[in-house]
């Protein structure tokens, strides 16, 4: 099965993919136009033949926004608590440069969340 993991944010979205048991960072989408971002993700879903989408959900107001976002894609939700923090620590530990870390941070967070989901299903 092909999975797309999404770390939702108000100005950027982190994407990760898996076609087996291992998740990999895919890309970060920076956006100002919400509808164009949705269309961009839909094109990725079609092109990559995504079978299941998993959206990371945190607590509070952002968690509610993430759930609403997930419903657009009929996606499953999964707890993403600390995935961004874990992504930062792992990228620092791997001696990745600061610029590259900042560029891909949300994709790494999406990958950690998706990997956690895959480990639990």
CATH number of 3-120: 3.30.420.140
15-39 confidence digits (pLDDT tens)? 999 998 999 999 999 999 999 999 9
Residue 55 has phi, psi (to 5 degrees) of -105, 130
Beta carbons of 52 and 3 less than 8 angstroms apart: yes
Q: Supply the pLDDT for residue 83.
A: 52
What pTM value is reported for the model? 0.85
Q: How far apart (Å, rounded) are the C-alpha atoms in residues 9 and 103?
A: 14
Domain locations in the chain as residue ranges:
3-120
42-97 confidence digits (pLDDT tens)? 999 999 999 999 999 988 898 999 999 999 999 999 987 655 555 556 555 655 56
Please report where in the chains the tokens 């959206």 appear, as a residue.
55
Q: Which of 121, 98, 117 is nearest to 16 (CA)?
A: 117
């Amino acid at each position: 099965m092909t999975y797309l993991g999404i770390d939702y944010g108000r100005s950027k979205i982190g994407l990760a993919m898996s076609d087996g048991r291992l998740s990999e960072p895919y890309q970060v989408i920076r956006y100002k136009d919400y509808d164009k971002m949705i269309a961009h993700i839909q094109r990725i879903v079609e092109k990559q033949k995504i079978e299941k989408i998993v959206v990371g959900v945190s607590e509070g107001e952002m968690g509610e926004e993430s759930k609403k976002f997930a419903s657009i894609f009929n996606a499953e939700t999964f707890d993403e608590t600390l995935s961004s923090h874990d992504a930062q620590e792992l990228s620092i530990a791997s001696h990745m440069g600061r610029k590259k870390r900042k560029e891909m941070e949300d994709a790494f967070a999406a990958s950690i969340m998706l990997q956690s989901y895959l480990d639990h299903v």
